[in-house]
Amino acid sequence: MKNDQIYDLIIIGGGPAGITAGIYAGRQHLKTLLICKEFGGQVGKKAIDIENYPGFEKISGIELIQKFKNHLQKFNIEVQQDEVTRIQKEEGIFSVCTKTGKIFNSLTVIIASGADPRPLEVEGEKEFLGKGVSYCAICDGNFFKDKVVAIIGGGNAGFETAIFLSKIAKKIYILEYGETVKADPTNQEIVKKSGKTEIITNAQVKKIAGDKFVKSIIYLDRETQEEKELEVDGVFVQIGNQPATSFAKDLVEFNERDEIIVEFETCQTKTDGLFAAGDCNTGPFKQIITACGEGAKSALAAFQYVQKLKSSQSSENSSR
Ligand SMILES: Cc1cc2nc3c(=O)[nH]c(=O)nc-3n(C[C@H](O)[C@H](O)[C@H](O)COP(=O)(O)OP(=O)(O)OC[C@H]3O[C@@H](n4cnc5c(N)ncnc54)[C@H](O)[C@@H]3O)c2cc1C
């Protein structure tokens, strides 16, 4: 279904980058549509505390995103819950196509589609998804009350998952591929204090096994080359994220991690009028504050682009 109106700006994503872009676009009176699969993005699923967002010494992700949402609602921004499947540009106008079959047109687009969890890609992972395998402790943690769980990944995401699950599960294993874990010392201390978590390093996960539900995890001890099995009821995969950017492949350039290459100053991609902000671009520090900063930058750059475009169109018309 094609919508004939032309927006000044379409924002793809309702996480910190997209919401901030929306607030800035609203303040510049850009006619804006924000399309997102799930409002809140990664932060909206984070029940444990955020301690590095200025102005809030401690705030849960869910609370912070509610504040962002309230702020966005002060502006006249249209929001649609949908999934963008493709973007094209023809004769200076972007068409944004969605899963529900809608097509929206715009002079500029900001991609703020963040990232999806990176899968382990081992036997049993797909088979037991929703039957013991999960990528989100906030969403599924309560199914594991007094159970034994394994978390794959010894970075901050893995440790934060352990902190969250320590209030629910009986026993937690963290399996880390490398020789040492990579989480911040603060997260490591909290996990240690909970007394429920055993950390296994040099562990290469080979298989997730079970019958109707997960029963065990099989890993290679990379030091001894021995294959070992842990009896667990659940497996939380926390090995990082992969950018959700394939819908833009015709208009942008990617690095080797499928992150969109942008100019630092404006978050502009290789296509004029198309910007990429937050976790989906090549910025090395994937944080709420950096995503917000890029959302702001890209919305202001989109505003300048729209202004130039409209003033050149009106001077063309008046010279005819
Ligand atoms: C467990 C965990 C803990 C974290 N803790 C912290 C912390 O303490 N402090 C901190 O600063 N950062 C933290 N982060 C990182 C932070 O959450 C991210 O850097 C931030 O959310 C990135 O924001 P974003 O807007 O770029 O992307 P996201 O938050 O990923 O939002 C992306 C948005 O795009 C939407 N979307 C995706 N694809 C499409 C599509 N095709 N069509 C339409 N919409 C789409 C999604 O539904 C979502 O609304 C944490 C991350 C995780 C996973």
For atom 44 of ligand 1, the residue with the nearest CA is: 36
**What number of other Cβ atoms are within 10 A of residue 28's Cβ?**
17
pLDDT above 80 for 48: no
| Interval 231-239 mean pLDDT | 97
For atom 30 of ligand 1, the residue with the nearest CA is: 114
The pLDDT assigned to 110 comes to 98
For the chain, what percent of residues have pLDDT higher than 70? Answer: 97
Would you say the CB of residue 172 lies under 6 angstroms from ligand 1?
A: no
Q: Across the chain, what does the average pLDDT equal?
A: 94
> Residue 154 to residues 174, 180, 231: CA-CA distances in angstroms?
6, 8, 19
| Cα separation, 125 vs 136, whole angstroms | 14
Would you say the CB of residue 52 lies under 6 angstroms from ligand 1?
A: yes
Q: Which atom of ligand 1 is nearest to the CA of 289?
A: 11
How close is the Cα of 39 to the center of ligand 1, in Å?
10
**What number of other Cβ atoms are within 10 A of residue 1's Cβ?**
8
Range name among 128-132, 175-179, 303-307 with the lowest pLDDT average: 128-132
Would you say the CB of residue 283 lies under 6 angstroms from ligand 1?
A: no
For the chain, what percent of residues have pLDDT higher than 90? Answer: 82
The pLDDT assigned to 198 comes to 97
How do residues 176-185 score in pLDDT, each as one tens digit? 999 999 999 9
Q: Is the pTM of this model over 0.85?
A: no
Which residue, 47, 25, 40, is CA-closest to 114? 40
pLDDT above 80 for 228: yes
Mutate to test the pocket of ligand 1, among 20, 43, 86, 246 (most ligand atoms within 8 A of CB): 43
The pLDDT assigned to 137 comes to 87
The two beta strands, 103-111 and 78-81, are unpaired
The pLDDT assigned to 256 comes to 86
The pLDDT assigned to 47 comes to 60
How do residues 96-119 score in pLDDT, each as one tens digit? 999 999 999 999 999 999 998 899
| Cα separation, 168 vs 145, whole angstroms | 5
How close is the Cα of 17 to the center of ligand 1, in Å?
8
Distance of CA 27 to the CA centre of its chain: 25
The pLDDT assigned to 139 comes to 73
Would you say the CB of residue 243 lies under 6 angstroms from ligand 1?
A: no
